[in-house]
A and B are shown apart, each in its own frame.
Chain A
Amino acid sequence: MDTWRELVDPDYPAIVWNTLRISFEITVWCILLALPCAYAIARMPQRWRAIIAGSIMLPFWTSFVVRVFAWKTMLHPEGWLQSCYFVFLRVRAWLFDWLPGFLQDFFVWLGFAGSGPIDPASSTILDSEAAVVLVSVYSFLPFAIMPIYTAAEKFDFSLLEAARDLGARSFYAFRKIFIPGIRQGVVSAILMVFIPAIGSYVIPQMLGGTNCVLIGNKIFMRAIQNRNIPHASALATLMAVSVLVPIAIAMWWKKRQDAIGRKRLEEQTARTMVGRV
């Protein structure tokens, strides 16, 4: 019980929030990239599908840690990714200035944007949050593509033709017919990315430096470096709870929606049937 009291460290809420926020960012990027990829693969001729799906799994032949080390070299301050990072920071700052003041404050409060001006000397991509997000997206992307691709492969693409036929533009058909049609795959992809992202510590450890300490690093620190196992397990529990609570809320919400849907169905049936029997 004492260990629980130790958890009331003022650092922890911020770290938990950072972890959830970064995991969320990683998940959003992964899904956004995986959707068009999976769609494209599923529409390829059969022969090509196997080749592409195989090459998506190819990186797993190399150790995860080795791949992160490779990224460490690529993210070197004199590398080309560093130049990209400057452009990214400039564009982001420029876009940020466009936003109304209350949204700016909101984003700073959420932690999506820093409040100060950009300092080119100290803004290296290595040891930044951006590096953690970038490499995490790279590592977890296959886990997002695979479930979505599996769902997309079973998807009946004539439905898209039917939607086009009835007057829908291609993107509308993709959004309204394809994405709901592969919903199950998207849900598993979100879980497959979000959960490991929350627990990841190798990537923030190696690429995030002191600017991006996540809860996984804290647990690692307490368990391996401080040998404080009770504290580490208390932290791990905290993390598990902070993931399970939103999921429980989501499930409750879904149940409620279903109940509302059933009620609506009855009402609507009653409306359609008025004077028609």
Chain B
Amino acid sequence: MNDFLVFDHVTKRFGAMTAVNDVSLSISKGEFFSLLGPSGCGKTTLLRMLGGFERPDSGRIYLEGKDITDLPPNQRRIHTVFQNYALFPTMTIWDNIAFSLKLAKKPKAEIEEAVDNILEMIQLSDQAWKYPSQLSGGQKQRVAIARALVDRPSVLLLDEPLAALDLKLRQHMLIELDTIHDQVGITFLYVTHDQGEAMSLSDRIAVINKGKVEQLDGPAKIYEAPASRFVASFIGDTNFFEGEITAIDGDYCYLAVDGFPQIKAFNDKSLKVGQKVDLSVRPEKIRVTLAPPLPEKGASINVFPSTVKDIVYQGVYTKYWIESSGLRIAAIKPHSRFLLDQEPITWNDDVFVWWHPDDGYMVEVQ
């Protein structure tokens, strides 16, 4: 089940630069799988090798058990939705979508039915005889997806398909992509540098950095339990405390961080005393109050007196930059009527920042 699409120790170099470094991945049939990473991390190269536009220097790629590493692009049952859509400007929308079916020499009636049906699915039946230049970005995007899906490939590759759209349209297309994936049941391989897109769509995400897979997990796992400092910082915002474990207390441990009071953290990996770690605490898990937390609560959690240095209003929430024992900590707080009852926090206020030990996540430092 899990070996529908397999990258087996794939490496690709461009000159002195190693774009993809010994990557092995297994993707199952019908899965929505994302490759997530910063630009230049090798994710697009992986996609291009799968599409047949690049050949790996070593390693093999298998699809449905067959070695496809050396097949040219036109002999792979894999279609790509390109970042710039790459719609054929000299053809109408209808002809663009029918392109692959005509190449496969399907009977005319079958082509017409398939194209008309998919046009209906993307709700562009009325635009079928226009040219790509006459469509809006979102419409072009839908045509590009329809063109790649119409002859039912084994895998659909999406190369940052939403990068060129504005925010509202992007959110709308996210939902549409999800719906289309549910309707067609084809394996989607989605490449993006936008963690929001990857998190909201994917069954599994491979976080890639410098040509290597840093972590392969479901979206929640990647956010809550990042495998490395890179993953923790790339997916969302976080505060890092670099320290060393000094004591173990049951499921918990105590960290010594330079110039900072002792921090208590959940030790789910049973790390030993003396282990160097990076403790990651997400801003939304940190509370900022003028008054200290109630004493019975305060005894079991991390509480640090600090000073507010900066406040950034961001609509959905407000972000506080707080200085505590020489470290800058980010914390965010949503707005609601209830919170307005509390005394407002302003610049240079002395406050308390506190978080539950379970909300910190430790990543080992080698």
Interchain CB contact under 8 A, B128 and A166 = no
Q: Which of B80-88, B198-206, B245-253, B306-314 faces chain A? A: B80-88
With a CB–CB cut-off of 8 A, which chain A residues contact B104?
A: 167
Interchain CB contact under 8 A, B89 and A181 = yes
Interchain CB contact under 8 A, B88 and A177 = yes
Closest to B119 in A: A272
Q: Which of B12-20, B71-79, B189-197, B273-281 faces chain A? A: B71-79
With a CB–CB cut-off of 8 A, which chain A residues contact B70?
A: none
Q: How far is the CA of A156 from the CA of B72 in the complex (A)?
A: 20
Across the interface, B90 reaches (CB within 8 A) one of A167, A180, A273, namely: A180
With a CB–CB cut-off of 8 A, which chain B residues contact A168?
A: 74, 99, 103
Interface residues of B in 127-159 (CB under 8 A from A): 128-129, 147-148, 151
Interchain CB contact under 8 A, A156 and B74 = no
Interchain CB contact under 8 A, A159 and B94 = no
Interchain CB contact under 8 A, B116 and A166 = no
Interchain CB contact under 8 A, A166 and B126 = no
Interface residues of B in 104-128 (CB under 8 A from A): 104, 116, 119-120, 125-126, 128
Interface residues of A in 153-200 (CB under 8 A from B): 156, 158-159, 161-169, 172, 177, 180-181, 183
Q: How far is the CA of A163 from the CA of B90 in the complex (A)?
A: 13
With a CB–CB cut-off of 8 A, which chain B residues contact A273?
A: 125-126
Q: Is A265 an interface residue (CB 8 A)?
A: yes
Known contacts A165-B79, A166-B148, A167-B103: does B89 contact A276 (CB below 8 Å)? no
User: Interface residue count for B (Cβ, 8 Å)?
Assistant: 32
Closest to A161 in B: B53
With a CB–CB cut-off of 8 A, which chain B residues contact A163?
A: 88, 99
B73–chain A nearest beta-carbon distance, Å: 4
Most central of B86, B104, B120, B125 by chain A CB within 10 Å? B86
Residues 33-69 of chain B, each 1 if its beta carbon lies under 8 Å from chain A, else 0: 0000000000000000001110000000000000000
Q: Is B228 an interface residue (CB 8 A)?
A: no
With a CB–CB cut-off of 8 A, which chain B residues contact A62?
A: none
Interchain CB contact under 8 A, B99 and A269 = no
With a CB–CB cut-off of 8 A, which chain A residues contact B78?
A: 165
Q: Is B302 an interface residue (CB 8 A)?
A: no
Interchain CB contact under 8 A, B74 and A169 = yes
Closest to B76 in A: A165
Closest to B75 in A: A167
B72–chain A nearest beta-carbon distance, Å: 7
Across the interface, B129 reaches (CB within 8 A) one of A183, A269, A276, namely: A269
Q: Is A3 an interface residue (CB 8 A)?
A: no
Known contacts A165-B73, A169-B74, A268-B128: does B100 contact A158 (CB below 8 Å)? no
Known contacts A164-B74, A165-B73: does B103 contact A276 (CB below 8 Å)? no
Across the interface, A161 reaches (CB within 8 A) one of B86, B99, B148, namely: B86
A32–chain B nearest beta-carbon distance, Å: 21
Q: How far is the CA of A20 from the CA of B61 in the complex (A)?
A: 56
With a CB–CB cut-off of 8 A, which chain A residues contact B82?
A: 158, 161-162
Q: How far is the CA of A268 from the CA of B130 in the complex (A)?
A: 11
Interchain CB contact under 8 A, A166 and B103 = yes
Known contacts A161-B53, A161-B82: does B148 contact A269 (CB below 8 Å)? no
Interchain CB contact under 8 A, B86 and A156 = yes
Residues 2-32 of chain B, each 1 if its beta carbon lies under 8 Å from chain A, else 0: 0000000000000000000000000000000
With a CB–CB cut-off of 8 A, which chain B residues contact A272?
A: 94, 116, 119, 125-126, 128-129
Residues 135-164 of chain A, each 1 if its beta carbon lies under 8 Å from chain B, else 0: 000000000000000000000101101111
With a CB–CB cut-off of 8 A, which chain B residues contact A159?
A: 86, 88-89
B39–chain A nearest beta-carbon distance, Å: 17
With a CB–CB cut-off of 8 A, which chain A residues contact B129?
A: 265, 268-269, 272
Interchain CB contact under 8 A, B125 and A167 = no
Closest to A268 in B: B129
Interchain CB contact under 8 A, B103 and A268 = no
Interface residues of A in 35-57 (CB under 8 A from B): none
A254–chain B nearest beta-carbon distance, Å: 15
Q: How far is the CA of A276 from the CA of B113 in the complex (A)?
A: 13
Closest to A183 in B: B90
Q: 21 interchain pairs (CB within 8 A)? A: A156-B84, A161-B51, A162-B80, A164-B53, A164-B72, A164-B73, A165-B51, A165-B53, A165-B79, A165-B80, A166-B74, A166-B79, A167-B74, A168-B74, A268-B94, A268-B128, A272-B119, A272-B128, A272-B129, A276-B116, A277-B126
Residues of chain B having any CB pair with chain A under 8 Å: 51-53, 72-74, 78-80, 82, 84, 86-90, 92, 94, 99-100, 103-104, 116, 119-120, 125-126, 128-129, 147-148, 151
14 further interface pairs, Cβ-Cβ under 8 Å (given A166-B74, A168-B99): A159-B89, A162-B82, A164-B52, A164-B73, A166-B79, A167-B74, A168-B74, A172-B103, A268-B128, A268-B129, A272-B94, A272-B116, A273-B126, A276-B116
